Chains A and B, each alone.
Chain A
């Protein structure tokens, strides 16, 4: 039996007396598109940072494909990539150079990196800006580049932290289509403030509030749980209530 993509038990991160993430337990299956929703400061980004090995948990365990995140070496890191909340690229490198850089950092040779970059630029409509320095792109294009840099390494698990923030409606829909195409080919964990985005894309949705997971299920299950008929009302109800969990 395959290991789940993510297995988290009692994951906690404290900053002094404040718990940014408080006893989070969660399983994300291989190939699943999982959305993590929550208000600002709910602990979504801290959770992602712990799952990427960027932040040490205060307590609890996090496994990615059966391997402890904290003990993982280069091979384990090669399986995972992320697109941080802020656009993350090398400003004076061109779009193509940024993409090839990421591919090569993750082990691709020069020729493979070039091919991967060409393919991804085509899929994310970046080809005509291939030679432009990243710092000179518009905010939306920078966002798209940042996401492309996460996808170019063909990770088994990718974290997309607010991937569509700052994208116009057309670019957002294009990215949705890209994510739909990737569904099943890689495990995707995305955080978003756009509730309709989570509903449209995610297999399951986890709702975080004050560092804890307050609800977990499909969009329909969450609506049923909160006795509402739209995801926005469900979200408001579930971030104001005590823990409610729909087991899969």
Chain B
């Protein structure tokens, strides 16, 4: 399993898209929004304050983690390489861990880059950022499982379109850009039923040193992570059998 996980790690980090989207885009957004916030008298909105926006960007960067893992699985499915591995002694468990484990350090590295860059833009550096990083792990897992699920079900060509929708859903329904309560109604209900705003609120609370504020968001994220993980395993096993 270690060799397969190492292979997957190399496949991801050797793709320039990984750096460009995974770390580059969130950093550019942090820079842009911070400058915008500073240039306008009284700031723009509370979501754009660096203490709120940086943890949200860390979560946003995980959308690309989902993309990387999805593309990896879909690419392997398309090639005969996976057929070769299916004939090997690797088990279903080896495959799942092999696809998930290498993605986690990449996700955490993206979050660290977001926080480090945000520190230059005024984010207060405290020990709570480490707590936030710890709590980002279940969120990263959830996004990774979404990626594996999509990668197991869709072709690599279909994946691009579906992921552009996914990235939009994860950001617009997450409260990254504005307080979802400003719109309220059905929109807020949908946001509450999806895990993305909970992931953002949890990261914000943890980074701000408000451990009580991570609840009930943590349960939502864990619940979705377990459900997405189970669905990904089932979908991948079905593909193995097919």
Contacts and interface: CB of A to CB of B under 8 A. Distances in A.
Interface stretch (B2-10, B26-34, B47-55, B220-228): B2-10
Contacts of B4: 101, 105
Interface string A79-98: 01111111111111100010
Interface in B116-130: none
Contact of B89 (A54, A78, A82, A90): A78
Interface string A178-203: 00000000000000000000000000
B80 A84 contact: yes
Contact of B79 (A88, A102, A105, A107): A88
B183 interface: no
Interface of A: 52-54, 56, 74-75, 77-78, 80-93, 97, 100-102, 104-107, 133, 149-150
Interface of B: 2-4, 6-7, 10-11, 14-15, 79-81, 83-91, 241
B86 A92 contact: no
A203 B218 CA distance: 64
B12 to A, nearest CB: 9
A107 B89 contact: yes
Nearest to B13: A92
Contacts of B15: 92
A80 B90 CA distance: 13
Given A84-B80, A92-B10, A106-B89, 6 more contacts: A52-B87, A78-B89, A88-B84, A90-B7, A105-B3, A105-B85
15 contacts: A52-B87, A74-B91, A77-B87, A77-B89, A84-B80, A84-B84, A88-B79, A92-B10, A92-B15, A93-B11, A100-B3, A105-B85, A105-B88, A106-B89, A149-B84
A80 B87 contact: yes
B83 A88 contact: yes
B10 A104 contact: no
B232 to A, nearest CB: 21
Contacts of A53: 87
Contacts of B3: 100-101, 104-105
A75 B89 CA distance: 7
A28 to B, nearest CB: 17
A22 B175 CA distance: 59
A106 B90 CA distance: 8
Given A93-B10, A93-B11, A97-B7, A88 B80 contact: yes
Which one of A56, A90, A104 has the greatest number of beta carbons of chain B within 10 Å?
A: A90
A93 B85 CA distance: 15
A107 B88 CA distance: 10
A86 B78 CA distance: 11
A92 B14 contact: yes
B128 to A, nearest CB: 37
A78 to B, nearest CB: 5
B18 to A, nearest CB: 11
A54 B83 CA distance: 8
Given A92-B14, A101-B7, A106 B84 contact: no
A246 B84 CA distance: 33
Contacts of A92: 10-11, 14-15
B218 to A, nearest CB: 36
